[in-house]
Protein backbone atom coordinates (compact mmCIF):
# COMPACT_ATOMS: atom_id res chain seq x y z
CA UNK A 1 0.00 0.00 0.00
CA UNK A 2 1.35 3.41 -0.96
CA UNK A 3 1.49 6.25 1.56
CA UNK A 4 0.21 9.82 1.13
CA UNK A 5 1.35 12.70 3.32
CA UNK A 6 -1.54 15.02 4.03
CA UNK A 7 -1.23 18.72 3.13
CA UNK A 8 -3.61 21.67 3.25
CA UNK A 9 -3.66 21.82 -0.54
CA UNK A 10 -4.60 18.14 -0.78
CA UNK A 11 -7.41 18.59 1.76
CA UNK A 12 -8.77 21.56 -0.17
CA UNK A 13 -8.83 19.39 -3.28
CA UNK A 14 -10.56 16.49 -1.56
CA UNK A 15 -13.23 18.81 -0.12
CA UNK A 16 -14.29 20.03 -3.56
CA UNK A 17 -13.25 17.64 -6.36
CA UNK A 18 -16.27 15.61 -7.62
CA UNK A 19 -13.95 12.67 -8.31
CA UNK A 20 -12.21 12.98 -4.95
CA UNK A 21 -11.90 10.16 -2.42
CA UNK A 22 -14.93 8.54 -0.85
CA UNK A 23 -13.69 8.65 2.73
CA UNK A 24 -10.87 8.88 5.20
CA UNK A 25 -10.82 6.06 7.70
CA UNK A 26 -9.06 5.54 11.02
CA UNK A 27 -8.71 2.02 12.40
CA UNK A 28 -7.63 2.05 16.02
CA UNK A 29 -7.14 -0.99 18.24
CA UNK A 30 -7.96 -0.57 21.92
CA UNK A 31 -7.29 -2.58 25.07
CA UNK A 32 -8.44 -2.46 28.70
CA UNK A 33 -5.94 -0.73 30.97
CA UNK A 34 -5.53 -4.08 32.73
CA UNK A 35 -4.22 -5.56 29.46
CA UNK A 36 -5.31 -7.97 26.73
CA UNK A 37 -7.90 -10.49 27.87
CA UNK A 38 -9.05 -8.37 30.83
CA UNK A 39 -12.73 -7.95 31.65
CA UNK A 40 -14.44 -4.73 30.57
CA UNK A 41 -18.04 -3.54 30.61
CA UNK A 42 -20.00 -2.62 27.46
CA UNK A 43 -23.13 -0.46 27.78
CA UNK A 44 -26.30 -2.17 28.99
CA UNK A 45 -29.70 -1.99 27.31
CA UNK A 46 -33.18 -3.10 28.30
CA UNK A 47 -33.45 -6.57 26.78
CA UNK A 48 -34.97 -9.91 27.68
CA UNK A 49 -32.00 -11.83 26.24
CA UNK A 50 -28.88 -9.98 27.40
CA UNK A 51 -28.11 -6.61 28.95
CA UNK A 52 -25.41 -6.16 26.29
CA UNK A 53 -25.85 -5.54 22.55
CA UNK A 54 -24.26 -8.75 21.23
CA UNK A 55 -24.67 -10.01 17.67
CA UNK A 56 -23.75 -13.56 16.60
CA UNK A 57 -22.31 -13.90 13.10
CA UNK A 58 -22.95 -16.86 10.80
CA UNK A 59 -19.68 -18.50 11.88
CA UNK A 60 -20.62 -18.16 15.55
CA UNK A 61 -18.38 -15.17 16.31
CA UNK A 62 -19.96 -12.90 18.90
CA UNK A 63 -19.55 -9.15 18.45
CA UNK A 64 -20.46 -6.67 21.19
CA UNK A 65 -21.17 -2.97 20.82
CA UNK A 66 -18.79 -1.10 23.13
CA UNK A 67 -19.76 2.47 22.20
CA UNK A 68 -22.41 3.43 19.66
CA UNK A 69 -22.18 5.98 16.87
CA UNK A 70 -24.41 8.39 18.79
CA UNK A 71 -22.49 7.94 22.02
CA UNK A 72 -19.16 8.49 20.28
CA UNK A 73 -20.46 11.67 18.66
CA UNK A 74 -21.58 13.02 22.02
CA UNK A 75 -18.14 12.25 23.47
CA UNK A 76 -16.30 13.90 20.57
CA UNK A 77 -18.36 17.08 20.17
CA UNK A 78 -17.34 18.78 23.46
CA UNK A 79 -13.78 19.04 22.08
CA UNK A 80 -15.01 22.38 20.75
CA UNK A 81 -15.55 23.60 24.30
CA UNK A 82 -11.81 23.36 24.96
CA UNK A 83 -9.85 26.58 24.93
CA UNK A 84 -7.71 25.39 22.03
CA UNK A 85 -10.73 24.82 19.76
CA UNK A 86 -13.44 27.19 21.06
CA UNK A 87 -12.83 29.81 18.38
CA UNK A 88 -13.57 27.32 15.60
CA UNK A 89 -17.33 27.25 16.21
CA UNK A 90 -20.05 29.56 17.54
CA UNK A 91 -20.37 29.19 21.29
CA UNK A 92 -24.10 29.12 22.04
CA UNK A 93 -25.08 28.94 25.70
CA UNK A 94 -28.63 28.38 26.90
CA UNK A 95 -29.44 29.60 30.40
CA UNK A 96 -32.26 27.89 32.25
CA UNK A 97 -33.89 28.98 35.49
CA UNK A 98 -34.12 27.00 38.69
CA UNK A 99 -36.16 23.81 38.37
CA UNK A 100 -38.05 21.84 41.01
CA UNK A 101 -35.02 19.57 41.34
CA UNK A 102 -32.91 22.58 42.29
CA UNK A 103 -30.79 22.73 39.13
CA UNK A 104 -29.98 26.16 37.79
CA UNK A 105 -27.36 26.95 35.22
CA UNK A 106 -26.31 27.01 31.59
CA UNK A 107 -25.99 24.30 28.96
CA UNK A 108 -23.97 24.62 25.76
CA UNK A 109 -25.55 23.56 22.48
CA UNK A 110 -22.41 21.41 22.12
CA UNK A 111 -23.72 19.36 25.05
CA UNK A 112 -27.27 18.97 23.71
CA UNK A 113 -27.73 15.41 22.48
CA UNK A 114 -29.65 16.33 19.31
CA UNK A 115 -27.66 19.47 18.59
CA UNK A 116 -29.64 22.06 16.62
CA UNK A 117 -32.61 19.67 16.54
CA UNK A 118 -32.73 19.37 20.33
CA UNK A 119 -35.88 20.35 22.22
CA UNK A 120 -34.00 22.90 24.30
CA UNK A 121 -33.09 24.88 21.14
CA UNK A 122 -36.77 25.03 20.11
CA UNK A 123 -37.54 26.53 23.50
CA UNK A 124 -35.36 29.63 23.00
CA UNK A 125 -35.21 32.69 20.76
CA UNK A 126 -33.19 30.53 18.34
CA UNK A 127 -36.31 28.57 17.39
CA UNK A 128 -37.23 30.42 14.18
CA UNK A 129 -33.63 30.83 13.07
CA UNK A 130 -33.01 27.11 13.49
CA UNK A 131 -36.21 26.28 11.59
CA UNK A 132 -35.19 28.52 8.70
CA UNK A 133 -31.70 27.00 8.57
CA UNK A 134 -33.14 23.49 8.43
CA UNK A 135 -35.75 24.40 5.81
CA UNK A 136 -33.22 26.15 3.60
CA UNK A 137 -31.11 23.01 3.64
CA UNK A 138 -34.18 20.89 2.84
CA UNK A 139 -35.20 23.06 -0.09
CA UNK A 140 -31.86 23.85 -1.68
CA UNK A 141 -29.09 21.85 -0.01
CA UNK A 142 -27.54 25.16 1.11
CA UNK A 143 -25.93 24.50 4.50
CA UNK A 144 -24.53 28.01 5.03
CA UNK A 145 -27.08 29.06 7.67
CA UNK A 146 -26.55 25.79 9.52
CA UNK A 147 -22.78 26.25 9.44
CA UNK A 148 -23.06 29.80 10.79
CA UNK A 149 -25.41 28.75 13.58
CA UNK A 150 -24.43 25.21 14.59
CA UNK A 151 -21.68 23.71 12.38
CA UNK A 152 -21.24 20.63 14.57
CA UNK A 153 -24.74 19.61 13.47
CA UNK A 154 -23.16 19.14 10.04
CA UNK A 155 -20.08 17.39 11.44
CA UNK A 156 -21.90 14.87 13.66
CA UNK A 157 -25.30 14.92 12.01
CA UNK A 158 -28.71 15.99 13.26
CA UNK A 159 -32.31 15.02 12.69
CA UNK A 160 -34.93 17.65 13.39
CA UNK A 161 -37.49 14.86 13.75
CA UNK A 162 -39.84 16.80 16.04
CA UNK A 163 -40.15 19.92 13.91
CA UNK A 164 -39.07 20.39 10.27
CA UNK A 165 -38.06 16.76 9.72
CA UNK A 166 -34.73 17.80 8.17
CA UNK A 167 -31.95 15.20 8.27
CA UNK A 168 -28.27 16.15 8.25
CA UNK A 169 -26.01 13.16 7.49
CA UNK A 170 -22.92 12.69 9.63
CA UNK A 171 -19.63 13.73 8.09
CA UNK A 172 -17.81 12.01 10.97
CA UNK A 173 -18.89 8.62 12.26
CA UNK A 174 -17.16 6.66 15.01
CA UNK A 175 -18.06 3.35 16.65
CA UNK A 176 -16.33 0.83 18.94
CA UNK A 177 -16.95 -2.91 18.76
CA UNK A 178 -15.23 -5.91 20.32
CA UNK A 179 -14.91 -9.24 18.52
CA UNK A 180 -15.08 -12.84 19.68
CA UNK A 181 -16.44 -12.04 23.14
CA UNK A 182 -17.57 -14.15 26.05
CA UNK A 183 -19.90 -12.81 28.73
CA UNK A 184 -19.39 -13.17 32.46
CA UNK A 185 -21.69 -12.89 35.46
CA UNK A 186 -21.04 -11.61 38.94
CA UNK A 187 -22.61 -11.98 42.36
CA UNK A 188 -22.48 -9.94 45.55
CA UNK A 189 -23.74 -10.09 49.11
CA UNK A 190 -24.93 -7.04 51.02
CA UNK A 191 -24.12 -7.25 54.75
CA UNK A 192 -25.65 -4.65 57.08
CA UNK A 193 -23.27 -2.86 59.43
CA UNK A 194 -25.04 -4.10 62.59
CA UNK A 195 -27.82 -6.48 63.59
CA UNK A 196 -30.78 -4.11 63.64
CA UNK A 197 -33.11 -6.77 65.07
CA UNK A 198 -30.83 -7.03 68.10
CA UNK A 199 -31.15 -3.27 68.49
CA UNK A 200 -34.94 -3.71 68.56
CA UNK A 201 -35.52 -1.70 65.35
CA UNK A 202 -37.71 -4.62 64.24
CA UNK A 203 -38.30 -8.16 65.47
CA UNK A 204 -36.17 -11.23 64.80
CA UNK A 205 -39.16 -12.74 63.00
CA UNK A 206 -39.41 -9.72 60.69
CA UNK A 207 -35.70 -10.01 60.04
CA UNK A 208 -35.95 -13.67 59.07
CA UNK A 209 -38.85 -13.00 56.71
CA UNK A 210 -37.04 -10.11 54.99
CA UNK A 211 -33.52 -11.48 54.60
CA UNK A 212 -32.60 -12.55 51.10
CA UNK A 213 -35.67 -10.89 49.59
CA UNK A 214 -34.57 -7.77 47.76
CA UNK A 215 -38.17 -6.65 47.24
CA UNK A 216 -38.84 -6.35 51.00
CA UNK A 217 -38.84 -2.83 52.48
CA UNK A 218 -36.16 -3.79 55.03
CA UNK A 219 -33.89 -5.08 52.28
CA UNK A 220 -34.48 -2.03 50.11
CA UNK A 221 -33.52 0.24 52.99
CA UNK A 222 -30.36 -1.73 53.78
CA UNK A 223 -31.32 -3.23 57.16
CA UNK A 224 -30.94 -6.96 56.36
CA UNK A 225 -28.67 -9.30 54.39
CA UNK A 226 -29.42 -9.36 50.65
CA UNK A 227 -27.67 -11.51 48.01
CA UNK A 228 -27.37 -10.35 44.39
CA UNK A 229 -26.58 -13.22 42.04
CA UNK A 230 -26.23 -13.68 38.31
CA UNK A 231 -25.72 -10.02 37.48
CA UNK A 232 -23.96 -8.93 34.30
CA UNK A 233 -20.24 -9.18 34.87
CA UNK A 234 -18.73 -7.70 31.74
CA UNK A 235 -17.11 -9.41 28.78
CA UNK A 236 -13.73 -10.77 27.71
CA UNK A 237 -12.65 -10.19 24.09
CA UNK A 238 -10.44 -12.79 22.43
CA UNK A 239 -10.52 -10.80 19.22
CA UNK A 240 -9.74 -7.10 18.71
CA UNK A 241 -11.46 -4.18 20.38
CA UNK A 242 -11.70 -1.88 17.39
CA UNK A 243 -12.59 1.78 17.00
CA UNK A 244 -13.51 2.82 13.46
CA UNK A 245 -13.69 6.52 12.58
CA UNK A 246 -14.91 7.48 9.10
CA UNK A 247 -14.86 10.94 7.52
CA UNK A 248 -17.50 10.78 4.79
CA UNK A 249 -16.18 12.92 1.92
CA UNK A 250 -19.28 12.28 -0.21
CA UNK A 251 -21.59 13.73 2.46
CA UNK A 252 -19.17 16.64 2.82
CA UNK A 253 -19.18 17.47 -0.89
CA UNK A 254 -22.99 17.43 -0.97
CA UNK A 255 -23.09 20.48 1.28
CA UNK A 256 -24.07 23.40 -0.92
CA UNK A 257 -24.16 27.14 -0.66
CA UNK A 258 -23.05 30.35 -2.33
CA UNK A 259 -19.52 29.78 -0.99
CA UNK A 260 -19.70 26.00 -1.04
CA UNK A 261 -15.95 25.40 -1.30
CA UNK A 262 -15.22 27.55 1.75
CA UNK A 263 -18.06 25.90 3.67
CA UNK A 264 -16.88 22.37 2.84
CA UNK A 265 -13.29 23.14 3.85
CA UNK A 266 -14.55 24.62 7.11
CA UNK A 267 -16.66 21.56 7.92
CA UNK A 268 -13.80 19.24 6.88
CA UNK A 269 -11.45 21.09 9.24
CA UNK A 270 -13.90 20.65 12.13
CA UNK A 271 -14.43 16.99 11.23
CA UNK A 272 -10.70 16.27 11.24
CA UNK A 273 -10.18 18.08 14.55
CA UNK A 274 -12.84 15.85 16.12
CA UNK A 275 -11.46 12.73 14.44
CA UNK A 276 -7.79 13.12 15.38
CA UNK A 277 -8.30 14.36 18.94
CA UNK A 278 -7.33 11.58 21.37
CA UNK A 279 -10.44 9.93 22.79
CA UNK A 280 -11.22 10.13 26.49
CA UNK A 281 -10.58 6.48 27.46
CA UNK A 282 -13.09 6.37 30.35
CA UNK A 283 -16.30 5.29 28.63
CA UNK A 284 -18.12 4.09 31.75
CA UNK A 285 -17.45 2.31 35.04
CA UNK A 286 -15.38 -0.79 34.25
CA UNK A 287 -14.64 0.34 30.68
CA UNK A 288 -11.34 2.21 30.61
CA UNK A 289 -9.85 1.57 27.17
CA UNK A 290 -6.54 2.85 25.80
CA UNK A 291 -4.84 2.61 22.37
CA UNK A 292 -3.19 -0.73 21.73
CA UNK A 293 0.13 -0.64 19.89
CA UNK A 294 -0.05 2.95 18.67
CA UNK A 295 -2.61 5.65 17.85
CA UNK A 296 -4.07 3.80 14.85
CA UNK A 297 -3.80 3.89 11.06
CA UNK A 298 -5.36 6.41 8.71
CA UNK A 299 -6.35 5.36 5.19
CA UNK A 300 -7.91 7.25 2.29
CA UNK A 301 -10.43 5.21 0.30
CA UNK A 302 -10.85 6.08 -3.40
CA UNK A 303 -13.86 5.61 -5.66
CA UNK A 304 -12.45 2.43 -7.20
CA UNK A 305 -12.01 0.91 -3.73
CA UNK A 306 -8.24 1.28 -3.70
CA UNK A 307 -6.65 2.45 -0.49
CA UNK A 308 -3.65 4.52 0.46
CA UNK A 309 -2.13 4.91 3.90
CA UNK A 310 -2.22 8.52 5.12
CA UNK A 311 0.38 10.27 7.24
CA UNK A 312 -0.91 13.35 9.07
CA UNK A 313 1.92 15.75 10.04
CA UNK A 314 1.83 17.10 13.59
CA UNK A 315 -0.17 20.31 13.83
CA UNK A 316 -1.54 20.16 10.29
CA UNK A 317 -5.17 19.54 11.25
CA UNK A 318 -5.27 22.38 13.78
CA UNK A 319 -3.74 24.83 11.32
CA UNK A 320 -6.02 23.73 8.50
CA UNK A 321 -9.15 24.03 10.66
CA UNK A 322 -8.16 27.50 11.90
CA UNK A 323 -7.40 28.79 8.39
CA UNK A 324 -10.62 27.34 6.97
CA UNK A 325 -12.65 28.86 9.82
CA UNK A 326 -11.11 32.29 9.18
CA UNK A 327 -11.83 32.12 5.44
CA UNK A 328 -15.42 30.96 5.93
CA UNK A 329 -16.18 33.23 8.86
CA UNK A 330 -17.29 31.66 12.13
CA UNK A 331 -20.81 32.57 13.28
CA UNK A 332 -21.18 34.79 16.33
CA UNK A 333 -21.37 33.57 19.91
CA UNK A 334 -24.80 33.69 21.54
CA UNK A 335 -26.30 33.59 25.00
CA UNK A 336 -30.01 32.79 25.02
CA UNK A 337 -32.53 31.86 27.68
CA UNK A 338 -34.79 28.83 27.95
CA UNK A 339 -38.40 29.98 27.56
CA UNK A 340 -40.86 27.89 29.55
CA UNK A 341 -43.81 29.24 27.58
CA UNK A 342 -42.26 28.10 24.30
CA UNK A 343 -41.71 24.69 25.88
CA UNK A 344 -45.33 24.45 27.01
CA UNK A 345 -46.52 25.47 23.53
CA UNK A 346 -44.27 22.81 22.02
CA UNK A 347 -45.77 20.18 24.33
CA UNK A 348 -49.26 21.19 23.22
CA UNK A 349 -48.24 20.75 19.56
CA UNK A 350 -47.25 17.18 20.40
CA UNK A 351 -50.54 16.58 22.19
CA UNK A 352 -52.48 17.76 19.12
CA UNK A 353 -50.53 15.41 16.85
Q: Same domain, yes or no, for 221 and 340?
A: no
Q: Helix, strand, coil % (nearest 5) of the chain?
A: 35, 30, 40
Query: Does 274 lie in the same domain as 324?
Result: yes
Confidence at residue 29, expressed as pLDDT on a 0 to 100 scale: 97
Quote the percentage of the chain above a pLDDT of 70: 97
Same domain flag for 203 and 328: no
75 and 103 together in one domain: yes
pLDDT of residue 42: 97
Do 196 and 297 belong together in one domain?
no
**What is the mean predicted confidence (pLDDT) over 264-273?**
98
Q: Looking at residues 147-171, what average pLDDT do you find?
A: 94
- The radius of gyration computed from the CA coordinates of the chain, to the nearest angstrom, equals 25
- 103, pLDDT greater than 70: no
* pLDDT at residue number 48: 67
Select from 195, 212, 234 the last residue of a domain. Answer: 234
Q: How confident is the model at residue 100 (pLDDT cuts 50, 70, 90)?
A: low
pLDDT at 113 over 90: no
The pLDDT of residue 54: 95
> 255 and 153 in one domain?
yes
pLDDT digits (tens, 9 = 90+) for 237-259: 999 999 999 999 999 999 998 89
* 353 in any annotated domain: no
- The answer, yes or no, to whether residue 353 has pLDDT greater than 90, is no
135 or 212, greater pLDDT: 135
Cα distance between residue 331 and residue 353, in whole Å? 35
The continuous run of DSSP H or E covering 204 comes out as helix 204-210
Please tell me whether residues 108 and 26 are part of one structural domain: yes
Is the same domain home to 222 and 97?
Answer: no
Neighbouring-strand partners of residue 67: 176
Residues 6+ apart with CB under 8 A from 165: 138
The domain in which residue 210 lies consists of 181-234
pLDDT at residue 102, rounded to an integer = 62
Sign of CA dihedral 35, 26, 328, 335: negative
Judged against a pLDDT cut of 60, whether residue 196 lies above it is answered with yes
pLDDT value, residue 346 = 85
Whether pLDDT at 234 is above 90: yes
Same domain, 170 and 212: no
Instruction: Give yes or no: residues 139 and 66 share one domain.
Output: yes
Amino acid sequence: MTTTTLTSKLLDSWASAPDGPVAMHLEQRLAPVEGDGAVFFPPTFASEKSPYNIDTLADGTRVVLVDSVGSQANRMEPVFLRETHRALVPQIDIAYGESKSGTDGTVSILEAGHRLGDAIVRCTALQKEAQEAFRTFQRTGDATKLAKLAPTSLVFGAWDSRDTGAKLPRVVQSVIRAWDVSTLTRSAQYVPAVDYAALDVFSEDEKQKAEGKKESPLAQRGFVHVPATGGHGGVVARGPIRRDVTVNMIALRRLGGESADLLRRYVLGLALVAAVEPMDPFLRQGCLLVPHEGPGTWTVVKRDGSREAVTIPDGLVGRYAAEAATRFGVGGNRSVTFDKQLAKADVKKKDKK
